[in-house]
Structure 1
Amino acid sequence: MGTVSIRDVATRAGVSPGTISNVLNRPERVAPATRERVLRVISELGFVRHGSASTLRAGHSRTVGLSVMDIGNPFFTDIAAGVEEAASERGYAVILGNSAGSRAKEERNLLVLAEQRVRGVLITPTDDDPARLDALRDRGIRVVLLDHPAHRPDQCSVTVNDITGGRLAVSHLLERGARRIGYLTGPGTLRQCADRGEGAARAVTAAGLDPETVLEPIEIPAMTAKYGQQAAERLLASGSLPEAIFCANDLLAVGMLRGLLQAGVRVPGDISLIGYDDIDFAAASAVSLSSVRQPTHQLGRIATELLLDECDNPDTHAHQQVVFQPELVVRESTGGRRDPADPRPEETG
């Protein structure tokens, strides 16, 4: 069989070539039943459009870029799932770039995305310098900040109030009676870490206590389970454990929990522990972890919808800075009960 054309698909599906073009490029404009019939015919005939030709005509491809800080962190994996879902519904594919917290790698990834003529970019930037993002906009590539606030009115962003999240975590530990609280955090240059630390300090102040004496910052190079366990080992070697530890993400909390349990430290009997993000591992760990929940999938979806609206409707698009509120989830690691819906059954004595 020779090359299948758009006209062949249109004839088999009983629609016009223009409808086929809309299904491929603007699927939201086509009735669902018609769209499904066309897609079924495309699959039956094995039609493949000439992507490079359409890209040259339009000046861009039907792709968007996603640049995250650490794809190994389930927090970003869940965000990516939301991005892909929303993009797919609009007929877009997603190109993923992992900066690993490196600005140099992030810049290389953004260059590749620009070379691929992506329609827009969703990015969790490694710092607040806007230069490289302004360079993308100068090339006609739309940009939405993801898990990072915008500091300008002509920029869309979707984030979570991390100051509130830090306050929720430490207020909970204070209510449990803790008066020496370790704050296990990544590099202070990361906005998320700084905001969660600020929220922790506000909680202490609101309780009428001095953050300088209650909070003990423990900064490590990267927010991974490996560094969380190493931090536990250092604390144990010091011979002076705090009464509770607030970890800036759940991976750190999982590593900290592993290190404490291996040393025979009881959680929460000897020390309380709370994480941040509420990834699946939090509920399923050996001692289920209390955490601060972020709506990760929703973050990805809303950011993508804003980006594609700006791409497809530049004249009517209204820039938005969306801020979600986090939620405290109490489990065993701070003295709560295991949620019956958690994947691991509740232990009995």
Structure 2
Amino acid sequence: MSDTARPPLRKARTAPTRATIRTVAEDAGVSVSAVSKVLRNAYGVSDALRSKVNASIDKLNYRPSASARGMRGRSYTLGVLLSDIRNPFFSEIMAGINEALSQTPYQPLLGVSDSAVGLELALVESMVDRQMDGLIFVAPRMALTDIDAAASRTPTAVIGIHSPGDTLFDTINGNDELGAEQAIDYLVGQGRQRIVHISLDLSPEEDSSVTAHREIGYHRAMERHGLSAFAKVYYAEHSPLARDVARRILEASDRPEAIFCWTDACAFEVISAALELGLSIPGDVAVFGYDNSPLCDLAQNNLTSVDQSGRQLGMEAARLVMERIEGRQEARHVRLETKVIARQSTG
């Protein structure tokens, strides 16, 4: 074939130019520093500026370079440590975290410890080693000294631990003592007196846990109603073990009129045990949960529960961590209000 017969060479395909922070600034008609402030979720950024910059980011498909961010001192990642991925309430917390981060450059990266302290500590070390900008712990089992040690290196917010005093980390919880009192007040108002509580068995030094605070509220309310003689606490995880404990309680000659559980997941096991024994709910026994997780609304559960807004807990945790990243030094301890959401399990 002669040279003149050769087909024309294809024009080399050029890779699309990657958008930079400067091209975002030019498209939005603002300064580079203004774009940087939006990306950092800096204090004082107006909604109008944030909307304008985010519109250009979406239009140009701008993605900040993770390596460049790391060299500048930020990775824009938050480590989220869950003690148990099976707890349905934790999905609401994660939804709140995601919602709070949706308009920021931060991304959550998840670790699950299965309530094993050794694994928790290993996961925290990995998160710190990977230079994550902040940490959120959800119902951790590690010691307070270990949480403080993590917080001394990385901004940390904790859900599921009430601050015992001076700490380096922030806490976000419902008012657990009040929530338990509200549950007992409601059951007593329904005419129940023999009310027992299933809690979580933790070591004595873990009296900062939410379950310890719920026990305090339970005993306080029972005493206030003159029912201390009927007060009794059993211990079980929200696992098949809780069903075994519930079965023993329900088969006893002095079967209680109501069972108040430390979490919805535990209450679901109590409902299963009662139905397996041929008992009616709430006719033979009322069942009360805690968390108001989405599964409470299912017809087979119809569970009355204490609501503490898991989504709000997650949003507050993310907000507090970002405040810490931006320079806040003093610890903050947020406590959300609780309320009873009544359903058929209590009549």
Q: TM-score, normalised by structure 2?
A: 0.83
What's the secondary structure of 2:291's corresponding residue? coil
Q: Matched residues in 1 for 2:139 and 2:119: separation?
A: 11
Aligned to 1:338: none
Spell out, residue by residue over 1:72-93, the C-alpha distance to the aligned partner (whole angstroms, 9 max, x if none): 2122111121122212333211
Whether 1:55 and 2:70 are equivalent positions in the alignment is yes
Change (3 A) 1:32 1:287: closer
Instruction: Report the alpha carbon displacement of residue 166 of structure 1 after superposing the two structures with TM.
Output: 1.7
Aligned to 1:332: 344
Aligned to 2:322: 308
Q: Matched residues in 1 for 2:164 and 2:256: separation?
A: 37
Please say if residues 243 and 271 of structure 1, whose CA atoms lie closer than 8 Å, have aligned partners that are also in contact: yes
Whether 1:195 and 2:210 are equivalent positions in the alignment is no
Question: Which has more radius of gyration?
Answer: 2
Identity of aligned residues (%): 28
Equivalent in 313, 316, 323 of residue 335 of structure 2: 323
| Unaligned stretches of 5+ residues in structure 2 | 1-15
Q: Matched residues in 2 for 1:8 and 1:329: separation?
A: 51
Spell out, residue by residue over 1:170-226, the C-alpha distance to the aligned partner (whole angstroms, 9 max, x if none): 23223333332232222234622222222111111111233xx31232212x223x3
Q: Matched residues in 2 for 1:14 and 1:202: separation?
A: 60
Q: Matched residues in 2 for 1:41 and 1:161: separation?
A: 42
Spell out, residue by residue over 1:233-252, the C-alpha distance to the aligned partner (whole angstroms, 9 max, x if none): 33455455322111111111
| Unaligned stretches of 5+ residues in structure 1 | 336-349
Change (3 A) 1:318 1:227: same
Aligned to 2:155: 142
Change (3 A) 1:202 1:34: closer
- Listed as ranges, the matches of 1:262-281 within 5 Å are 262-281=276-295
Aligned to 1:123: 137
- Listed as ranges, the matches of 1:186-225 within 5 Å are 186-189=200-203, 191-210=209-228, 213-220=229-236, 222-224=237-239
Q: Matched residues in 2 for 1:193 and 1:17: separation?
A: 48
Please say if residues 117 and 142 of structure 2, whose CA atoms lie closer than 8 Å, have aligned partners that are also in contact: no
Change (3 A) 1:172 1:188: farther
User: What is the identity, as a one-letter code, of the residue corresponding to 1:325?
Assistant: E
What's the secondary structure of 2:232's corresponding residue? strand
Spell out, residue by residue over 1:271-313, the C-alpha distance to the aligned partner (whole angstroms, 9 max, x if none): 1111111112112242522111112111121222222112113
Q: Matched residues in 2 for 1:38 and 1:172: separation?
A: 50
User: What is the identity, as a one-letter code, of the residue corresponding to 1:332?
Assistant: Q
What's the secondary structure of 2:279's corresponding residue? coil
Q: Matched residues in 2 for 1:85 and 1:126: separation?
A: 22
Equivalent in 232, 235, 241 of residue 227 of structure 1: 241
Q: TM-score, normalised by structure 1?
A: 0.83
Please say if residues 81 and 137 of structure 2, whose CA atoms lie closer than 8 Å, have aligned partners that are also in contact: yes
Aligned to 1:173: 187
Q: Matched residues in 1 for 2:76 and 2:166: separation?
A: 27
Change (3 A) 1:152 1:61: farther
Instruction: Report the alpha carbon displacement of residue 102 of structure 1 after superposing the two structures with TM.
Output: 1.5
Change (3 A) 1:171 1:81: same
User: What is the identity, as a one-letter code, of the residue corresponding to 1:18?
Assistant: S
Q: Matched residues in 2 for 1:200 and 1:31: separation?
A: 45
Change (3 A) 1:187 1:115: same
Change (3 A) 1:10 1:323: closer
Equivalent in 96, 99, 105 of residue 82 of structure 1: 96
- The worse-fitting range, judged by mean Cα deviation, of 124-133 and 106-115 is 124-133
Q: Matched residues in 2 for 1:269 and 1:204: separation?
A: 21
User: What is the identity, as a one-letter code, of the residue corresponding to 2:212?
Assistant: A
Q: Matched residues in 1 for 2:200 and 2:260: separation?
A: 12
Change (3 A) 1:17 1:287: closer
Superposition RMSD in Å = 2.6
Instruction: Report the alpha carbon displacement of residue 11 of structure 1 after superposing the two structures with TM.
Output: 4.1
